[in-house]
Amino acid sequence: MATKLLLTFAICRLIVTVGLTLDPTELLLLGVDAQLSVDPTDVKTASLDFGLLTGAQPPLAVMHPASSQDVAQLVKAAYGSNFGFTVSARGHGHSINGQAQTANGVVVQMSGSKGGSGVASGRKPPHPRVWPQERFVDVWGGELWIDVLRSTLQHGLAPKSWTDYLYLSVGGTLSNAGISGQAFNHGPQISNVHELDVVTGKGELLTCSEEQNSEMFHAVLGGLGQFGIITRARISLEPAPQRIAMRDFFNFPSTSYCQNLKGKVRWIRVLYSNFLTFTRDQEYLISLHEQPASQKFDYVEGFVIVDEGLINNWRSSFFSPHNPVKISSLEPNGGVLYCLEIAKNYHESTASTMDQEVESLLKKLNFIPASVFTTDMPYVDFLDRVHKAELKLRSKGLWEVPHPWLNLFVPKSKIADFDKGVFKGILGNKTSGPILIYPMNKNK
């Protein structure tokens, strides 16, 4: 089985930059002034991103588009301008190095357009449209994945592949890849797209798919925003673990709706002191992707623990604070531990066989004995787990800080060298940030 491991040292969700230097008077001639904002709050927000690593000059204006045509009109004006000016698309602001910023240009605020302070016309982008029989959903490029989940669950459906964090824009993650623990089974998010609407660098609006404008379709998916702005995506869906009673769901993020959830997730973490054993077990689990649901996990991920405090930090709040895990007690190899994170979806009709199915899978793994940590939770709570950690960090003033981040694809043949040189070498116990390992099937 050909595999690759994706190691992520942070979140990088950028969208686009196209364009040319701006004469401010041209803003008045664009014909989209009802969607343009020079409000200081909008401008300041558009000059920042999740990384907080760059100090870019603010844009001259922020556009809050209500349609693909709005975006196309702006980009076409930039392309045909005698003076020229830059246009950059911004989702929910999770770029790292200012990729969605543009000094003295116009930032297209794709997310938040439904309530942006600069929207004078009252027009808003379209809401997600779910096609239950066909099992796909059409969504605005700036829609957040958490809102896609809300819409699809009303029909008992959900996207197949996720990111760990759901408050990211659809266009942003599709411009990268969109990877989480489901990627071994369904591929990343970009492998689960039927169709796109894209605004090119010339301001043309194209619909593209495998059959129509296929070159553009494949260029834009994972293209880091270099080939166009995604304004609509048609996302593949599958049945959610079980249809959810929606009475309290739209009070989200209130957890009161959880009482109505029947779909659940068995979330398991096991520990390793030997890296080769850890990766061998990851590779075995992702090799089961073609097996029936009862014979595989739905989610396979992992992380590296190089600091005594990390195993019990926000990322690992899963472990009981009353029974903290001590690295030293587990005899780590070179001071490093590895956590395999796995999950299995179930609902009331399959709950009776869950223990047996999990036990059968765990018996084939070689983790440290007595290092199994298990919890059951509602399906939506599991998908939204990182946001709950975000709220904790925000309450402590630890979220709005610089976020250096690096994503790497490492082939199976080099991962042991990477462990020796980076995890046990360069990093040692010098970092307290998350180091995530996503095992992936190359053919996905």
Conformation bin of residue 42: beta by default, left when phi > 0, alpha when psi is -120 to 50: alpha
pTM: 0.87
Short-list 109, 140, 104, CA closest to 42: 109
Both tokens of 254, joined, read 């209130």
Domains of the chain, first to last:
24-109 (3.30.43.10), 129-239 (3.30.465.10), 263-436 (3.40.462.10)
Q: Choose the catalytic residue: 138, 164, 341, 384.
A: 164
Both tokens of 253, joined, read 């993020």
Is 210 a residue of the active site?
no
- The distance from CA 286 to its chain's CA centroid, rounded to whole angstroms, is 20
3-class DSSP assignment, residue 232: strand
* Greatest C-alpha distance within the chain: 69
Q: Choose the catalytic residue: 94, 197, 307, 341.
A: 94
Short-list 284, 174, 280, 275, CA closest to 229: 174
Q: Which residues, other chains included, contact 26 with Cβ-Cβ below 8 Å and sequence gap of 6+? A: 77, 81, 83, 85
How confident is the prediction along the chain (444 residues), in pLDDT tens digits per residue?
455 555 544 333 333 444 445 555 566 566 666 588 888 899 999 998 898 888 778 898 899 999 999 999 999 988 887 766 889 999 999 988 888 888 878 999 999 754 444 454 568 899 999 999 999 999 999 999 999 999 999 999 999 999 999 999 999 999 999 999 999 999 999 999 999 999 999 999 999 999 999 999 999 999 999 999 999 999 999 999 873 333 333 344 433 344 344 689 999 999 999 999 999 999 999 999 999 999 999 999 999 987 655 455 545 555 554 455 555 566 556 678 899 999 999 987 778 899 999 999 999 999 998 889 999 999 999 999 999 889 998 999 989 888 888 889 999 999 999 999 998 888 876 776 788 999 999 888
Structure-token match 């894209």, residue found = 198
Is 301 a residue of the active site?
yes
Q: Choose the catalytic residue: 42, 138, 281, 301.
A: 301
